[in-house]
Amino acid sequence: MNKILILLTLAICASIIFFFPPIKGLGDLAKIIFFHVPTAWVAVIAFFASAFFAAKFLRTFNFSFDKLSARAARLGFIFVLLSTISGAIFSKLTWGAYWNWDPRQTTIFVLILIYGAYLTLRAAVSDEKVRAKVSAVYSLLSVLTVPFLVFIIPRMYFSLHPSPVLNSAGKIEMDSIVLIVLIAAVVDATLIFVQLMRREIS
Amino acid sequence: MKLSNSRFEQIAAIVRKDFVIGLRRRATFAAMMMFALTAVASLSLSTGGIFVEAKFLAALLWVVIFFAASAGISGTFDDEAQAGTLPTLKLYADAQAILFGKMIYVLLSLVALTIFILPIFLILFDVAVENFFLLLATILLGLIGIAAAGTLTAALTTSATVKGGLFPILLFPITLPIFLPAISLTELSFTGGAFDSSSLVVMVAFDLILVTAASILYDYL
Amino acid sequence: MIVFDDVSLSFGRHELFKNISLNLRGGKVIGVTGANGAGKSTFLKLAGKIIRPDSGEVKLINDENNCALRIAHYALQFAAVAPEMKIYDNLTAQENLFFFAKLRGKTLSAEKISELGERVGLDLKTFGNVRAENFSTGMRQRLKFAILLSVDADIWLLDEPTANLDDDGREKFFREIQAAKPDKIILLATNDRAEENICDEIIKLPL
């Protein structure tokens, strides 16, 4: 499985770097979007995974679920940082500024804050049984904010961010080859996340 | 969960007890009020004479409320844990009665804080409030949310060995859905512009969710 | 009856209890003894569902509320005198009594309060309106004892209850325990000869 993933990742990277023409007017660096989208996707997936395992832990009091929840949060934190940085670079290239509190930037920043708070809480509680309970409760509490933020934030801040790949109109405004590579990259990143989660258990 | 008469009596007893102790010790109240006063004074001094936009004023007000509230309510359970009374309280009282008793006490002390700091804020920044009813409704809804999330957060941080600054770090992300609409509604109450009632609905809904979540999650602690 | 069903509990790597199964029946005083660190207090906390075992279950038989949660109202049948369970220093003796009785839905009358004071040997006419912060350790112990008596709980958890009491206090305490035991489950964690002597049955830790 690991070998297949490495090959897939290399193939995707190679096709992006060598075979894609530079994006019009943005230069080669703009290809970072192929890194940004998958990492953002995994950051969100990891957030819900962490909350899911937290709920599982509270139902069963099985401490391996607590470990999974913490692992998902740690991986998610790394992915959200990578995604934010790559997004800021892309933002500089397309909009001329690294940061402008675009709704999506705001949302991902809140995600950084939640991950940071969760990991700080874990670090601050020394008793492992208490830590498991307390962090699971916080994880579930923080996941409640997500639907509200998704509803509120776009009303309060003007957005320049391109619509998600699957936008509300149901139209896909991309070259089919670009889309295929992007989907492959998202699948690849998700599999890397799953693989890292599984590796950590054993 | 059964809500009986005796449950309400228990909650009332806990709120009353916390008030008696709060008034006798005064330190927590005094710290919260002085924190808010210091914050407002320093902001007002440093912007003295400059025209400050309504949007910015609204944000300032909520920043002051958030950090003063953090200073005041982070010790909701800590004080009892330090005094060694928390195990006794947990043994003799019903868990939900403790949670709601503390939550109501926190809400009332936040209301007291606002009654103290809001007039000072409005006078020092020379704010003309156009829609007073909207301002009060917004602040009350905001405080309910902070009280619900803050009480549960205070219960979480009680077991932490490193406490410095932990409480606001944990509280901020989960109360953000309260702050964003609260700030825009407060701005509209200052300027008198037409307001979007959906923001109020969002605040009410999120308050309800926080109270319910706190009630469910507290049982697992 | 309190039932320990295959209960295990450890702190970090240290295994305190391993697969314990036993029944604690009512109508007698059950002593819990053992060296320091053997887990006497922890045993009481397990019985009182104040802490949860790592595996296994502690149950109260004749109780339908078998929820997996901590304890909620399920716990309201317990009362305790233990060193780590402090009273409110900023409240007067009477306010402490009133508060804890209220938590169990009881409103204490003035006669009831002075009767409780007599039973534990604390003069509440004089000290009733004095804040507990001014009390000596022995007086606090008597006040905790009065709270225990006032709430009328089915299960008593006593952790070295007479450690700070003089002879008169001990005698009063023992008399109340003997009088109350027929319809209660009483657990008494102790290392003290006099306290051991009033127990009808001794559980010696480690098991």
- Beta bridge partner(s), residue C188: C31, C158
What pLDDT is attached to residue B204? 93
What residues of A are in contact with residue C52 (Cβ under 8 Å)? 61
CATH number of the CATH domain containing C144: 3.40.50.300
Q: Is C45 within the bounds of a domain?
A: no
Name the domain count of chain C.
1
Chain-chain contact of B10 with C102 (C-beta, under 8 angstroms):
yes
Whether residue C177 has pLDDT greater than 90: no
Whether B210 has its CB under 8 Å from any CB of chain A: the answer is yes
* Confidence category of residue C71, pLDDT binned at 50, 70, 90: very low
Chain-chain contact of B220 with A136 (C-beta, under 8 angstroms):
yes
Whether B71 has its CB under 8 Å from any CB of chain C: the answer is no
Tokens of residue C202, six digits: 């001794």
Q: Is C3 within the bounds of a domain?
A: no
What residues of A are in contact with residue B172 (Cβ under 8 Å)? 113, 117
Chain-chain contact of A128 with C12 (C-beta, under 8 angstroms):
yes
DSSP A154: H
* Confidence category of residue B37, pLDDT binned at 50, 70, 90: very high
A110-165: pLDDT as tens digits: 889 999 999 999 999 988 888 999 999 999 999 988 888 877 777 666 666 665 54
Q: How far is CA C43 from CA A197, C13, C31, in A?
A: 38, 18, 11
Whether residue A166 has pLDDT greater than 50: no
Closest residue of chain B to A116, computed from CA coordinates: B169
Are the CB atoms for B214 and C63 separated by under 8 Å?
no
Give kind and range of the element (H or E) at residue C8.
strand C2-11
Whether A152 has its CB under 8 Å from any CB of chain B: the answer is yes
From the list C76, C84, C89, the residue facing B94 with the nearest CB is C76
Q: Report the range of poorest mean pLDDT among B2-6, C158-162, C193-197.
A: B2-6
DSSP C53: -
Q: Is A97 within the bounds of a domain?
A: yes
Residue burial B50-78, b: 16+ Cβ < 10 Å; e: rest: eeeebeebbbbbbebbbbbbbbbbbbbbb
Domain extent, residue C182, equals 26-38+68-204
Mean pLDDT of C78-102: 88
* Confidence category of residue B2, pLDDT binned at 50, 70, 90: very low
Q: Is A18 within the bounds of a domain?
A: no
Chain-chain contact of B202 with A142 (C-beta, under 8 angstroms):
no
Please give the distance of CA A163 from its chain centroid, rounded to a whole number.
17
A84-108: pLDDT as tens digits: 998 888 888 877 788 888 778 888 8
What residues of A are in contact with residue B174 (Cβ under 8 Å)? 114, 141-142, 144-145
Interface pTM (ipTM) of the complex?
0.89
What residues of A are in contact with residue C12 (Cβ under 8 Å)? 128
Name the more confident of A184 and B138.
B138
B165-202: pLDDT as tens digits: 899 999 999 999 899 899 999 999 998 888 778 888 88
What pLDDT is attached to residue A168? 43
Contacting chains of C (3 CB pairs or more, <8 Å) are A, B
From the list A58, A145, A156, the residue facing B184 with the nearest CB is A156
Lay out the sheet containing C14-24: strands in order across.
Answer: C14-24, C2-11, C55-60
Q: How far apart are CA A114 and CA B204, in angstroms?
A: 22
Task: Give the SS3 label for residue B109.
Answer: helix
Question: Distance (Å) from the C-alpha of residue C55 to the closest C-alpha of chain A?
Answer: 9
DSSP B48: T
Q: Is A108 within the bounds of a domain?
A: yes
Whether C52 has its CB under 8 Å from any CB of chain A: the answer is yes
Whether A61 has its CB under 8 Å from any CB of chain C: the answer is yes
Are the CB atoms for B212 and B144 separated by under 8 Å?
no
Question: What residues 13-42 of chain A have any CB closer than 8 A to a CB of chain C?
Answer: none
From the list B166, B177, B217, the residue facing A121 with the nearest CB is B166
For A58, other C-beta atoms within 10 Å of its C-beta total: 24
Task: Please state whether the peptide bond connecting residue C206 to the residue before it is cis, i.e. omega within 30 degrees of 0.
Answer: yes
Name the more confident of C8 and B104.
B104
What residues of A are in contact with residue B160 (Cβ under 8 Å)? 121, 124-125, 134
What pLDDT is attached to residue A163? 55
What pLDDT is attached to residue C79? 84
Whether residue C136 has pLDDT greater than 70: yes
Q: Is C34 within the bounds of a domain?
A: yes
Q: Is A19 within the bounds of a domain?
A: no
Question: What residues 91-120 of chain A have any CB closer than 8 A to a CB of chain B?
Answer: 110, 113-114, 116-117, 120
Task: Give the SS3 label for residue C82.
Answer: coil
What pLDDT is attached to residue B103? 95
Mean pLDDT of A33-58: 90
Whether residue B1 has pLDDT greater than 70: no
Name the more confident of A167 and A115.
A115
Mean pLDDT of B31-56: 87
Name the domain count of chain A.
1
* Confidence category of residue A27, pLDDT binned at 50, 70, 90: low
Mean pLDDT of C84-88: 88
Are the CB atoms for B105 and B73 separated by under 8 Å?
no
* Confidence category of residue A26, pLDDT binned at 50, 70, 90: low
Chain-chain contact of A125 with B160 (C-beta, under 8 angstroms):
yes
What pLDDT is attached to residue A161? 65
Tokens of residue C3, six digits: 């039932």
Q: How far apart are CA B156 and CA A109, in angstroms?
A: 23
Contacting chains of A (3 CB pairs or more, <8 Å) are B, C
What's at A97, amino acid-wise? A
Q: How far apart are CA B178 and CA B168, in angstroms?
A: 15
Q: How far apart are CA A31 and CA A24, in angstroms?
A: 11
Contacting chains of B (3 CB pairs or more, <8 Å) are A, C
Mean pLDDT for chain A? Answer: 81
Pairing outcome for strands C2-11 and C14-24: antiparallel
pTM of the model: 0.87
Task: Give the SS3 label for residue C18.
Answer: strand
Are the CB atoms for C162 and C192 separated by under 8 Å?
yes
The set of residues, in sequence order, having a beta carbon less than 8 Å from that of A80 and lying 6+ positions away, is A39, A40, A43, A108, A111, A112, A115
What residues of C are in contact with residue A59 (Cβ under 8 Å)? 68
What pLDDT is attached to residue C66? 40
For C177, other C-beta atoms within 10 Å of its C-beta total: 20
Give kind and range of the element (H or E) at residue C20.
strand C14-24
Chain-chain contact of B6 with C87 (C-beta, under 8 angstroms):
no
Mean pLDDT for chain B? Answer: 89
Q: What is the 3-state secondary structure (H, E, C) of B80-100?
A: HHHHCCHHHHHHHCCHHHHHH
- Rounded to the nearest 5 degrees, what angle is found at the Cα of C6, between the Cα atoms of C1 and C8? 110
